Structure 1
Amino acid sequence: MAPHTTVTPPRRTEPTASAAAGELVVAPVTITPTKPLTPTHVKGLLWTDVLVKASARVGGVRLVWNNRMATVTTQATAFWHHLDLTEPDTDWSRESDIRIGERYVRFHAERRDTDLRDTDRRALGDYLTRADREGWIHPAGRRMLDVWRAQLDQLGVADLGLAADRPLTTTAQTMLDALADRGLLVDHRRFGGPVHLDGPRWGLPLRRLIGGDGHPNYLLPILRELVPLIRPGRLFLLVHDDDIAADYLLLDRVLTEFGARTARLPLSRVPVGGAPRSSRYGGWQGTTLGDLAATEGTADRAAYRLGMRLYFTGTLHRRSAQPFRMPLLRRCVGRAARLLGQTPADGTSGSAPSLAAALSLLRTEQGYVDPYRLTAALLGRRSGPPAPELRAIYT
């Protein structure tokens, strides 16, 4: 079990000028390793990657990613329990991300209310305990993480720590005690019921944090990781998709109650086949990150990386409702190849100081460099080939 950690962040104070210029803590919503990376996932990952790399040129940035924020959840462990019951002898190291993802879709399609009542709650509790205390991940999940790492390395996304294992920053009980001390819980455990975050105090709905079975909602691991990181001068940027905006608005309020300065960056989902739905419902075949890697064609890896960013951070802006279009992505890769081909061989097309000055002009009020504005500037009619320093951000 992780050591007991006392959660004693500062009470909220008005931000000072020095705090405003402090460290940016970027906390994207993590992804359960149960399915392939879809266009919506790719959009979120590339927005985060460009934002972190660009913002680091003009200020301090810390990226928060911990696998346990995604694996200490019923969403992941219920699926893994199902795999152990139905395929105990499968060699998951030989399975593709697509085939594992197809099982994930079938698992959700076949679940009924009766299935939920008959679920082996004790077994799920054991899975959650192992994931929390030992960093355990089912072999199918480890296989998925290995595939993701290879695909993201090809894409040029900075290492998220997918191969790393570390405990969440504080324990569940410590976090619950800290929330209770601030009156943020509606706790029915003494009656055998659930624990809710008290959203109504801010005009938001109640949100279950722990079920009557004792199993946590995905928000609890996130709070366990983020709340102990609160420090004066830090700004927490919460990156998430629009579909869970209500949860992240509540998360924002809770972090603020603990003294954090916060901002949210909601990103619209990328519709595939006409609907912006969750990956658990399928429909992503032919559009996963593994499929999109085929857009390289005759272009080299740098063109693939830049082209993917031109499409997902430029064409698909933050609130874009455009459906995924493979022909348009291919055109972006082609344009990337032409841009890179114009870069002088001696690397004299730009300098670090001038790039830092340009990036400063593209910062938002919260202090991060806006990926869409940066990409739009790169693609502007008067823009020349990307400077070597800018290429480092995009490729």
Structure 2
Amino acid sequence: MVDSMMDGDGGLSGGVDSGRRVLFAPVPVSPTKPLTFSHVKGLLWSDVLFRATALLHKTDFLWSWTVGVANAQTHGFWAHLDATRPGMDFSGLDEEDIGLLYVDYQRQRRERGGPPPEVGAPGALHPAGARVLELWAERWGELGIPDPGLRVRTPPPMSFDALVEVLSGYGLCLDHRPFDGPVYLDGTAHGFPLRRLAGAGGGSGNYLAGLLRELVPLVDAYDDVVLAFDRESLPDYVLVRHVLARLGARVSLVGVGRVRTGGGRPVSSRYGGWRGHTAAALAGRYLDVVGPRVYRLGVRLYFIAVLGQGDREVFREELVGRCMARAARLLAAADAGAGLDPGGPAPPPPADDPAPLLPRHARPHPHVDPYRLTTALLSRNRVPASRAAALLEEVYV
């Protein structure tokens, strides 16, 4: 689903209409687990990047049902649930309950060994997935992120067969389906290893195929494409950038590191270890204490400015508390003179446009860098008070 920040006249709802068209596509999360701190970090980076960039350029947001929901990882889990827990009622479970079932499924799959099974798309949204998406809509609301269409089933604009045909025309695909073999993305002429798009059984392909089925039909409509992703997926996204560049697109990559919650290297949520380190747990500790606006700004200060883009910093609860206190002070200063409660409802948008602040935090990219913008907001005298108030309301809360 592509959401636009354009108003009814085709211009931006605030900010500078540069005439530049930007497509922003962050990698979606599969609805099989709770939103961990790593997911929260990615969501908040994406939200600030999109909202700030939309004040500079005509910016569309692509949330892909194909990549987020209609993928082998998710469908394999649902098939496992149907086989091992037929008729189970998921309506009373929370994200962690369903996430533990997913961790168990992944453990069993690793013990069996071999590649993940080729599973076709189900005819309808599985009850477990529906329950996770229902709860995620609440988490999005708590974080102050607009729902991108989590529960809106949208078919990809391009079939897998059409994708293979386009890629083959550019010498970027090896199609062994006529010989009952797999389909590969082929960038070997430019130093990339072969990357499988679909197994010998064909079908709709893996998540990489799903991503390209969304992006390839859209690239001609935009001046720039910005892709945000988990840094662990960097090799795949470098390959995607190469493919889209061969098709004439100008692509920027924004890799966001995971959050360390212990001394070791951060690992995928499929291994578990996230109890108490989830979006729901974080909201439970702070939201009712500080109020919605302070909470939304506080988590952005922590996950963007304190943790940074990489994964070197370890999660520290005391620093989250300090960010909440700093957020309260920033909002109180912004609301001073208006008689508004920082923990109450949002005030009317300030009249002072924050867009002139943004180009310096974007160069040389088409998108605004969330870290540079957020640290500037926190730095004394880097952002004029009147524009800081506008920036907070337009981008952060």
Aligned positions of 1:117-128 closer than 5 A: 124-125=119-120, 128=121
User: Counterpart of 2:179?
Assistant: 191
2:287 matches 1:296: yes
Q: Which amino acid aligns with 1:85?
A: A
Q: Which amino acid aligns with 2:352?
A: A
Alignment check: 8 A CA contact 1:351 1:389 kept: no
Which is further off, 153-162 or 74-83? 153-162
CA distance in 1, matches of 2:88, 2:222: 49
CA distance in 2, matches of 1:117, 1:289: 31
Alignment check: 8 A CA contact 2:109 2:116 kept: no
CA distance in 2, matches of 1:118, 1:352: 53
Q: What value does the CA root-mean-square deviation take over the aligned residues? A: 2.2
Q: Post-superposition shift, 1:271?
A: 1.5
Secondary structure in structure 1 of the residue aligned to 2:244: helix
Q: Post-superposition shift, 1:170?
A: 1.2
Alignment check: 8 A CA contact 2:298 2:323 kept: yes
Q: Post-superposition shift, 1:272?
A: 2.1
User: Counterpart of 2:276?
Assistant: 286
CA distance in 2, matches of 1:41, 1:364: 26
Residues 347-376 of structure 1 deviation map (CA, whole Å, 9 limit, x = unaligned): 8996433x1111122223122111111110
User: Counterpart of 1:380?
Assistant: 379
Secondary structure in structure 2 of the residue aligned to 1:88: coil
CA distance in 1, matches of 2:39, 2:177: 35
Q: Post-superposition shift, 1:291?
A: 0.6
Residues 76-132 of structure 1 deviation map (CA, whole Å, 9 limit, x = unaligned): 11110000011112111111100000111111112246465896x5xx23xx2x4xx
Q: 1:79 aligns with which of 77, 85, 96?
A: 77
Residues 222-275 of structure 1 deviation map (CA, whole Å, 9 limit, x = unaligned): 111111111255200010111000000001111111111111111111122233
User: Aligned in 2, Cα 1:85/1:232: closer, same or farther, shift over 3 Å?
Assistant: closer
Q: 2:247 aligns with which of 258, 267, 274?
A: 258
Alignment check: 8 A CA contact 2:133 2:150 kept: yes
Residues 168-221 of structure 1 deviation map (CA, whole Å, 9 limit, x = unaligned): 111111111111122211222223221111122221111000012325211111
User: Aligned in 2, Cα 1:46/1:348: closer, same or farther, shift over 3 Å?
Assistant: closer
Alignment check: 8 A CA contact 1:57 1:356 kept: yes
Q: 2:227 aligns with which of 228, 238, 252?
A: 238
User: Counterpart of 1:110?
Assistant: 108
Q: Post-superposition shift, 1:345?
A: 3.7
CA distance in 1, matches of 2:262, 2:275: 10
User: Counterpart of 2:266?
Assistant: 276
CA distance in 2, matches of 1:322, 1:314: 11
The percentage of counterpart residues that share the same residue type is 40
User: Counterpart of 1:140?
Assistant: 128
Alignment check: 8 A CA contact 2:44 2:304 kept: yes
- Could you list the runs of 5+ residues in structure 2 that have no partner in the other structure? 1-17, 339-346
2:317 matches 1:326: yes
Secondary structure in structure 2 of the residue aligned to 1:238: strand
User: Counterpart of 2:395?
Assistant: 393
Aligned positions of 1:1-395 closer than 5 A: 22-112=20-110, 114=112, 124-125=119-120, 128=121, 130=122, 136-215=124-203, 216-231=205-220, 233-274=222-263, 275-293=265-283, 294-296=285-287, 298-343=289-334, 344-346=336-338, 351-353=351-353, 355-382=354-381, 386-395=388-397
User: Counterpart of 1:11?
Assistant: none
Secondary structure in structure 1 of the residue aligned to 2:164: helix
Residues 263-300 of structure 1 deviation map (CA, whole Å, 9 limit, x = unaligned): 11111111222331111011111011001112235211
CA distance in 1, matches of 2:366, 2:231: 22
Q: Which amino acid aligns with 2:227?
A: L
Secondary structure in structure 1 of the residue aligned to 2:25: strand
User: Aligned in 2, Cα 1:248/1:117: closer, same or farther, shift over 3 Å?
Assistant: closer
Q: Per chain length, whose mean CA-contact separation is higher, i.e. which structure has more relative contact order (CA < 8 Å, sep 6+)?
A: 1
Alignment check: 8 A CA contact 2:349 2:394 kept: no
Alignment check: 8 A CA contact 1:273 1:283 kept: no
Structure 1 or 2: more helix by fraction:
1
Query: TM-score, length-normalised on structure 1?
Result: 0.87
- Could you list the runs of 5+ residues in structure 1 that have no partner in the other structure? 1-19
CA distance in 2, matches of 1:377, 1:336: 14
Alignment check: 8 A CA contact 1:352 1:389 kept: no
User: Aligned in 2, Cα 1:259/1:330: closer, same or farther, shift over 3 Å?
Assistant: same
Count of residue pairs brought into register by the alignment: 365
CA distance in 2, matches of 1:254, 1:137: 31
